[in-house]
Amino acid sequence: MFSSLRQSMTWVHTWLGLVFGFLLMVIFFFGTLSVFDREIDRWALPETRFEPQLIPSYEGILAKAFQRIEPDPEELAAANKRTTGELPDKLRILNWGAYTTHRDPTLYLYAEFAIPNNPSDPFDHVHGYITIDPRDGRVIPKNRLEIGSDFFYPLHYSLHLHWNSVGYFIVGLSALIMLVALVSGVIIHRKLFREFFTFRPKKKLQRKVLDLHDLTGVVALPFHFFFALSGLIIFAYIYLPVSETVLQEPALKHAQAEAEAKGLPFAPADIPAPMGSVDTMISQAKQIWRERGQPGEVGYLVVNYPGDSNAYVSIYRAGNDTVSLVGQGIHFNAVSGELIYQEPAPSVVGGINEFLTGLHLQHFEHWLLRWLYMIGGLAGCVCIATGFIFFLEKRKRDLESRLALRCVDALAVSTITGMLLATISILVANRLLPPELVDKDVWEIRLFCGAWLLAMGHAFWRSASMVKGGVSSAWQEQCWGIAALSALAVLLNWVTTGDHLLKTLRDGYWPVAGFDLVLLTVAFAALKVAIVLRSRKAGFHSQGSSSEASDEFPEIGAS
C-alpha cells in the first residue's frame, strides 16, 4: 500500500490527527485553562475573592460543616436502582474529608455514605459535597458554579460524559491516539532540529501553516508526550479496573490485610463512641513533621467512621513544596487520640506514580512552571489548529471533495473559534445571571452548550465559500464575536463587582487581575485577526477566485 515507512506514518498522522483532532483540541484547551482553574473560580465567584486559607479548626468549624453534607441526589437516585430494598432515610457516614491547596481561599468538603442492600457490592457508597468559607464555616450556595475547577477541569478529563465512565474512555483513547500521532510525526519530520528554528511567515499560507504546525509540535514535544502518557497512567484504574472485576476478591483480602498490618480498622464496629480532639491530633501531626525537618500545614484531612468506636483520623501534609499531591499520612485513633501509624516513604513504583500524578496536576507552588504549562498547552492547541488548516489548504483545489472539506472546515471553526465563543459566553452569563437565580449553575452550563451549538450552526451555514476555493466567513465573524464578548466579560466584572482592573492591580489580587488581562489579550488578538481576515477577504474578491489568490487567502493558520 505504501512504498516506505515514512509514507505510511504520514497517512497515520494525517487521518488519526484529523479524526481525533477535534476531541484533542477540546481536551487540550480545557486542560490548559485548568492550569489556572482556581483563579478562574475566584473571577466567577466574587464572594470568594480573599486570600487562600489554611484548614480551620475541626472543633470550631469543620465538625458542624461536615454534619451539613447530604448525599448527592443524582448519586442517590442511581444507588436506588442498585439495591434490593428501600434505602433508609439516614445513611451511615463512612468518612468525611477536607482538601485544600495553596491557591484555595474556599475549602472543599466531601462525605461518603454507605449504601446497604446491594448484593453485588457490599462496599457500595455515594458521595456528598459542599464548599465552605473556612474563615467562618459559611456554606457557598450550590447554585454558584466554580467554572474553573468544577466545569472546565472535568471537561478536560471526562467531557462531562459520566454514564459508565464513557467520557474517561473517550479521553483515554484520544490520549493514546495523540501518542501515536506524536511518534508518527517524529518519523515524518526527520530534520527535527532544523524545524525547531524554522518559521517563514512571509511564505504562502500552506507553507507558513505547516511551519507553525511543525514548530509548535517540536518545541513542546516532550510536554505533549509527557501529559498524554501521564494522563493515561493517572486513570489506568478506570481503563483497566481489574481490582474491581477479575481481581475483586483478592484485592479485598489485600486491603483487609494491609489495614490489619497498619493497625487501622477496616470497617465500623457499629458501637457509638465520642470523638476526641481532632485539633490536638493535627497539632501532633505538625510536630511530627517539624521533627522530620519538614514543617508544614495540613493539606488533606479524613475522618473515617465518625461517631463509631473504630473511628480514626488520617492527616496528610500539604504538598506545596513537593511534586506529590500530599505527604505520607499520619493516622490517629479518633476516640482516644492515640497515634496508630505513620506511613513510610512510598516504594519505587509508588513514588514514580505519585511523581507523575503530581507533575501532571501541579498542585505544588511554582508559578513559573505553571505559566510554562499554560504556554505548552497553548502550543498544543496551535499545533492541532494549524494541522486542520494545513489539511484544508492542501486539498482546497480537489473539486471532488469540496463538500467533505466544507464539513471539515465547519468542524474546525466550531472547535477553535466556536469553543472560544462558548468559553467566554459562560463567563458573560456568570456575570449577567442574578446570584439568587435558582439553578444558576445549570443555566450557565446550558448557555455554554447553547453558544457552542450556535457557533457550530453558524460555521456550517457560512462555509459555502469553501466550495469556491475560498475560506469560510465564519472565521472572521466569530473572531469579531470573541473580541466583543471578551471585552464585555471584563466590563461586566467591573460593573457587577466593582473590581475593575486598576483596582485589582493596585491591590495585587492577581487571580482576578490576571484573568481580566488574559481576556483583554484575547479580545485584542481576536480583533487583530478579524481585521486581517477582512482585508484579505477584500483582496480576494478584487482578484477573483484564481489559484494564485486562493493560495494567499487568508492567514487564519498564522493567527
260-293 confidence digits (pLDDT tens): 888 899 889 989 999 999 999 999 999 999 998 8
Residues 324-335, mean pLDDT to the nearest whole number: 90
Residue 224 has pLDDT above 80, yes or no: yes
Residues 143-168, mean pLDDT to the nearest whole number: 92
DSSP string, 451-468: HHHHHHHHHHHGGGGGGG
Name residue, grid cell 471537561: 155
How would residue 65 be classed by pLDDT, with cut points 50, 70 and 90? very high
Look up the pTM and report it.
Answer: 0.88
Residues 436-445, mean pLDDT to the nearest whole number: 93
Residue 433 has pLDDT above 70, yes or no: yes
Distance between alpha carbon 401 and the CA centroid of its chain, in Å? Answer: 36
DSSP string, 34-86: HTTHHHHHHHH-GGG-S-------IIIIIHHHHHT----HHHHHHHHTTSSSP
User: Residue 196 has what pLDDT?
Assistant: 61
User: Residue 390 has what pLDDT?
Assistant: 83
Dihedral angle over CA of 161, 165, 166, 171, nearest 10: 80
Q: Is residue 231 part of a domain?
A: no
| Contact (CB, 8 A) for 102 and 320 | yes
User: Residue 541 has what pLDDT?
Assistant: 53
User: Residue 240 has what pLDDT?
Assistant: 84
| Contact (CB, 8 A) for 264 and 340 | yes
Dihedral angle over CA of 17, 21, 27, 28, nearest 10: 70
How would residue 536 be classed by pLDDT, with cut points 50, 70 and 90? low
Residues 290-315, mean pLDDT to the nearest whole number: 93
Closest CA to 428 of 478, 479, 484, 474: 484
Q: Which residue has the higher pLDDT, 522 or 241?
A: 522
Residue 209 has pLDDT above 50, yes or no: yes
User: Residue 153 has what pLDDT?
Assistant: 95
User: Residue 5 has what pLDDT?
Assistant: 79
| Contact (CB, 8 A) for 473 and 464 | no
Residue 548 has pLDDT above 90, yes or no: no
User: Residue 193 has what pLDDT?
Assistant: 63
* Rounded Cα distance, 236 and 215, in Å: 31
Backbone angles phi, psi at 308, to 5 degrees: -110, 155
Residue 409 has pLDDT above 80, yes or no: yes
Q: Is residue 439 part of a domain?
A: yes
Backbone angles phi, psi at 341, to 5 degrees: -160, 140
Q: Is residue 245 part of a domain?
A: no
Q: Is residue 501 part of a domain?
A: yes
| Contact (CB, 8 A) for 235 and 172 | yes
Q: Is residue 457 part of a domain?
A: yes
Residues 40-63, mean pLDDT to the nearest whole number: 93
User: Residue 546 has what pLDDT?
Assistant: 42
Q: Is residue 533 part of a domain?
A: yes
Q: Between β-strands 107-114 and 312-317, what pairing exists: parallel, antiparallel or unpaired? A: unpaired
User: Residue 89 has what pLDDT?
Assistant: 83
Contacts with 193 (C-beta within 8 Å, 6 or more apart), sequence order? none
Host domain of residue 411:
396-559
Name residue, grid cell 465567584: 45
User: Residue 201 has what pLDDT?
Assistant: 64
Order the strands of the 93-99 sheet from edge to edge. 138-139, 125-133, 107-114, 93-99, 298-304, 312-317, 330-333, 339-342
Burial of 187 (0-12, 13-18, 19+ CB in 10 A): middle
User: Residue 217 has what pLDDT?
Assistant: 84
Name residue, grid cell 513504583: 349
15-36 confidence digits (pLDDT tens): 888 889 999 999 999 999 999 9
* Rounded Cα distance, 546 and 540, in Å: 9
Residues 534-549, mean pLDDT to the nearest whole number: 54
Residue 309 has pLDDT above 90, yes or no: yes
Residue 69 has pLDDT above 80, yes or no: yes
How would residue 314 be classed by pLDDT, with cut points 50, 70 and 90? very high
Residue 204 has pLDDT above 90, yes or no: no
Lowest mean pLDDT among 77-86, 134-143, 206-215, 387-396: 206-215
User: Residue 553 has what pLDDT?
Assistant: 35
Mean pLDDT score across all residues of the chain = 87
How many CB atoms are located within 10 Å of the residue 257 CB? 11
Closest CA to 13 of 137, 240, 186: 186
Residues 423-450, mean pLDDT to the nearest whole number: 95
Grid cell for residue 436: 439568587
Q: Is residue 461 part of a domain?
A: yes
Residue 545 has pLDDT above 50, yes or no: no
Q: Is residue 363 part of a domain?
A: no
Question: What does R_g of the chain's alpha carbons equal in angstroms?
Answer: 26
The rounded percent of the chain whose pLDDT value lies above 70 is 89
Name residue, grid cell 484579505: 536
Lowest mean pLDDT among 40-44, 133-137, 237-241: 237-241
Residue 99 has pLDDT above 50, yes or no: yes
Residue 414 has pLDDT above 90, yes or no: yes
Q: How many domains would you assign to the chain?
A: 1
Name residue, grid cell 512504498: 3
| Contact (CB, 8 A) for 334 and 306 | yes
